[in-house]
A and B are shown apart, each in its own frame.
Chain A
């Protein structure tokens, strides 16, 4: 669950206003696309949710944590309730598929027994069974992104935040990935996908939030409300 009230973000270094008075609620179990052109504030929004940057003003609640008040060293608690996915996958090259996923469980202190039970289940869920012992560079882009999804899912997060997850994939793989997100969403996990791929967004009938120049300009079920239409 994400709740933003009058959120502003101004970057100190450049003085750039990335977000300006944003109000937004994403409820538990929702599937939401966050769209907008480059530099619109999408990535800032995502970084505010994961705690990578702090807002200049306003209120942000993420999975019951007050992101304006939380101490830097307590951010790990928020992140354990989130699964984060990036455009460039961010896998550890010298670890196998299995270890890349197991690593996320080790980090949060899961027992060896739990890891051995949970990792194969998640790999099967994302369709990577049989690839456990491969290294990331032996996999296709789509498969690598599935490893990243498995890693995001393995700790059973309340919400998945994906930043341009299909940016490096062809249309067919992108669609497959979205279907996988839909399947995960049906199991109860909130999904927030940041993207600028219009066709992909319009292929699903989901809530779409459009952001431009730091403002939310549309929020609804009627597909990609393009800034081109303005």
Chain B
């Protein structure tokens, strides 16, 4: 394609957006709206995911050290072997003295009178990388020499994993549905603009225009509308997210729920918005004109 022909087709794309101003506006609005809904679902699921991950970290595994290993140093030396086990994120050593102090601080002193620290074992408080593998990790820890017992709330872990899976699946399904919905609305909107131009397209075909030549301005039109929809959708979600974030921070909820900071998700979000906008626009444009090219 020559440069002059390319620039002619691009100009045609822009001309079509201008001359079909209301339709262009409608397309951009629809893409923006769909992307806002889609983005809200994705952001919600990201935040739920992050929240669950935080909660998961609270779900710790405690490995007790054999009483025959008496000194703090010898017990603490087991840390290396624990860290060598798969799926271990951190392992903090707690000596029997520290364990007793922590225990006693929670209860009435009189109850603990005459209690000896030897009642307690040295222990490691362990956090896992992935709590869905908690059972395997527990077995691995139990088989280590010097570890006598491992406390792990596997049933809680399973429940967390279950909730997280549901959230991911639901948000994936909703996102796919919304992508199709926006694609068809976009396609129908461009179809309406092409309906008014079917005569023009028929004339183009009659004088020997190739399909590519006829299609290109519509694809360019879809591309531009898609990019605009993506950018507007991104800005809108940014605004909504900021307002939501600051109102959560100001309220009581903020003390135990924190949203993911927007700047951490800004770039991937912008890229995927513009990407999805382009896909919807280009394929919507191509789909819209398909029927008119069969002459």
Contact = CB atoms under 8 A, between A and B. Distances in A.
Interface of A: 50, 52, 72-73, 75-80, 82, 84, 90, 92, 94, 103-104, 106-109, 111-112, 151, 155
A73 B202 contact: no
A79 B199 contact: no
Contact of A104 (B207, B210, B294, B295): B207
A120 B273 CA distance: 48
Interface in B12-26: 19
Contacts of A50: 206
B209 A107 contact: yes
A78 B4 CA distance: 24
B5 interface: yes
A112 B8 CA distance: 10
9 contacts: A73-B210, A73-B211, A76-B209, A84-B206, A90-B206, A103-B204, A104-B207, A107-B208, A111-B2
Nearest to A81: B208
A164 B16 CA distance: 32
A39 to B, nearest CB: 22
Interface string B192-225: 0000000110111111111101000000000000
A114 to B, nearest CB: 11
A228 to B, nearest CB: 33
Interface in B224-266: none
Given A103-B203, A155-B207, 8 more contacts: A50-B206, A73-B210, A80-B207, A90-B203, A92-B203, A107-B213, A109-B5, A155-B208
A106 B12 CA distance: 12
Contacts of B19: 94
A75 B19 CA distance: 30
Contacts of B200: 92
Nearest to A82: B208
Interface of B: 2, 4-5, 8, 19, 199-200, 202-211, 213, 294-295
A151 B203 CA distance: 10
B208 A108 contact: yes
Nearest to A88: B199
A94 B199 CA distance: 12
Given A90-B202, A90-B203, A92-B203, A79 B4 contact: no
A74 B55 CA distance: 63
Interface of B is mostly: helix
Nearest to B207: A104
A121 to B, nearest CB: 18
A200 B211 CA distance: 38
Contacts of B199: 90, 92
A111 B294 CA distance: 27
Contacts of A78: 208
B1 to A, nearest CB: 8
Nearest to B200: A92
A103 B12 CA distance: 12
B289 to A, nearest CB: 14
A79 B202 CA distance: 12
Contacts of A76: 205, 208-211
A93 B180 CA distance: 36
Contact of B205 (A79, A103, A109): A79
B207 A109 contact: no
Contacts of B295: 52
A219 B19 CA distance: 50
A94 B203 CA distance: 14
A108 B207 contact: yes
A108 B19 CA distance: 24
Nearest to A91: B203
A220 B5 CA distance: 46
A109 B206 contact: no
Contacts of B205: 75-76, 79
Given A72-B294, A90-B199, A92-B200, A107 B207 contact: yes
A53 to B, nearest CB: 10
A80 B209 CA distance: 8
A84 B8 CA distance: 24
Contacts of B213: 107, 109
A155 to B, nearest CB: 7
A104 B208 CA distance: 8
B203 A109 contact: no
A106 B200 CA distance: 14
A90 B5 CA distance: 24
A111 B209 CA distance: 15
Contacts of B206: 50, 79, 84, 90
Nearest to B295: A52
A72 B19 CA distance: 30
Contacts of A90: 199, 202-203, 206
